[in-house]
Amino acid sequence: MARERYLVHQGEETIHSEKLEHTPQTPKEKRQNFWYYHKWHILIGVVAAILLGFIIYDFASKVEPDYQIGLITEYDVPENVVQDMENKLQLGAKDRNGDGKVVVQISNYALGGENSNAQITAASVTRLMGDFTTYSDMMFICDSKGYDYIQQQEGWDSSNVKMPMPSVMKYDGYSFTVNMRVLDKESDKKYTEHKKYWDASKEIYENAMSAKTASKAS
């Protein structure tokens, strides 16, 4: 028993030995000790807060377009041409979502040619089919390949296809037509909502057709 008491007491003395345990006394030592044990938690928290801030800012500053117009072509169309299309169509558009801004967004879907990157082409086609399925686009500006692609899917409204481009939207080196997608009243559960969007999209085309200012994009 004497030996056990001796060992127990020795353990307590070892555990509480001042040589093995040092409690920071000054504020500086306390800060250094805290940083030593918690610096990674703090850094991870700061990075997470920054990322969350970017996500919130991106969500808050994102502008939802009033209209999305599809541009289906063999190859990507230059950005200055796309922007000119948006600006010209925007002149005859309305604020459909009530956010105080009128925004027309052109989405270019490049189908690619023989030498195009297969993965990029596949991604573009997937995006096109996704937007077509969700009725994001009602009106499409197409070159011959773009028109034929949707025609093979039987996706056009046959009475509103191959309409001429407005005179304010003529671009050197490009031959485009304007086409409206088909709506199926029988199978579309949101037909009334989609028809309003369809009519609004057709209206901005008609407004652009009546405009007389010549396009300066090339």
Beta strand extents in 6-131 (DSSP E only): 67-73, 104-110
Q: Pick one of 3.40.190, 3.10.450, 1.10.510, 3.90.75 as the CATH number of 67-210.
A: 3.40.190
From 1, 185, 199, select the one nearest 96 (Cα to Cα): 199
**Confidence at residue 24, expressed as pLDDT on a 0 to 100 scale:** 55
Report the distance separating Cα 10 and Cα 55, nearest Å. 58
Q: Where are the domains of the chain?
A: 23-62, 67-210
In this structure, the strands spanning 67-73 and 104-110 are: parallel
3-state DSSP percent of the chain in helix, strand and coil, to 5: 50, 10, 40
- Of 120-129, 144-153, 203-212, the poorest mean pLDDT is in 203-212
- Of 46-60, 97-111, 169-183, the poorest mean pLDDT is in 46-60
Q: How would you class 177 by CB atoms within 10 Å of its CB: exposed for 0-12, middle for 13-18, buried for 19 or more?
A: middle
Longest dimension (CA), the chain: 110
**Confidence at residue 31, expressed as pLDDT on a 0 to 100 scale:** 65
**Confidence at residue 211, expressed as pLDDT on a 0 to 100 scale:** 81
Report the distance separating Cα 179 and Cα 69, nearest Å. 10
Residue 72: strand pairing partners: 109, 142
**Confidence at residue 72, expressed as pLDDT on a 0 to 100 scale:** 98
pTM for the structure as a whole = 0.71
171 vs 115: which has the higher pLDDT: 171
Asked if 69 contacts 106 with a C-beta cutoff of 8 angstroms, the reply is yes
Asked if 147 contacts 179 with a C-beta cutoff of 8 angstroms, the reply is yes
Q: How far is Cα of residue 147 from the mean position of the Cα atoms in its chain?
A: 25
Report the distance separating Cα 138 and Cα 68, nearest Å. 8
Confidence of residue 33 (pLDDT cuts 50, 70, 90): confident
